[in-house]
Amino acid sequence: MRNKAFALLIPAAMLLSACTTVEPVIKDNGPRTAPCVDGGPDSVAQQFYNLRIARPTQGLPDSTTLAKYRPYLSEHLYQTLLAASHETNAGSWRDGDLFSSLAQGPTEASVAVASTIPNRDARNIPLRVDLSRDGKKWQDEVLMIHEGTCWVVDDVRYAANVPHPDGGSLSQMLEHAKKK
């Protein structure tokens, strides 16, 4: 008797599971057509800061520099920076390092190690970055997102004690500049 009842429950459970749609908590950040950098979020972020320190730029990167940054940047951030570089409206936001709180930019950067990512469910991870220049030390936060099969920089939150004049993050600064 028990086996018959159990045998009837299996088809009923399968029928119910076929009718249920499960939506992921966090949607995918979309496909990626640009080249990727190998590594996890912390490794890619560290490689990005290493490139920035090796080849520092002030203000908005030109199209050649943006092409070098392309494998490290999300589609959205790349397109926003590209659009901003074509605008003729020059402002104070174009001066200084856009990717850190300190206008002169860092000479050293150390990205915090990302914790393990269970089942690759995470689509975005904020990572602390310890930055320094000429004895000054500060921390910023880089937002890494999973785009296609790549981890890329999507935003930088300026977390140093010195407030950034145009906002608390790179995306806010670019948005503020667009409204001018």
For position 118, what pLDDT does the model report? 53
Note whether residue 78 is domain-resident: yes
Note whether residue 174 is domain-resident: no
CATH number of the domain within which 109 lies: 3.10.450.50
Q: Which of 31-35, 46-50, 88-92 has the highest mean pLDDT?
A: 46-50
What confidence tens digit (pLDDT) does each residue in 79-118 have? Answer: 999 888 877 554 555 678 889 998 889 999 999 987 655 5
For position 57, what pLDDT does the model report? 86
**Mean pLDDT of all residues belonging to the chain:** 79
Note whether residue 35 is domain-resident: no
Note whether residue 9 is domain-resident: no
Note whether residue 20 is domain-resident: no
Show the domain range for 87. Answer: 42-114+123-159
Confidence of residue 6 (pLDDT cuts 50, 70, 90): low
Total domains, the chain: 1
Note whether residue 146 is domain-resident: yes
What is the residue-wise DSSP string for the chain?
-HHHHHHHHHHHHHHHHHH-----SS-------S----S-HHHHHHHHHHHHHHS---SS--HHHHHHHGGGB-HHHHHHHHHHHH-----GGGSS-TTSSSTT--SEEEEPPPPP-GGG--SEEEEEEEEEETTEEEEEEEEEEEETTEEEEEEEE--SSSPPTT-SBHHHHHHHHHH-
For position 120, what pLDDT does the model report? 55
Note whether residue 12 is domain-resident: no
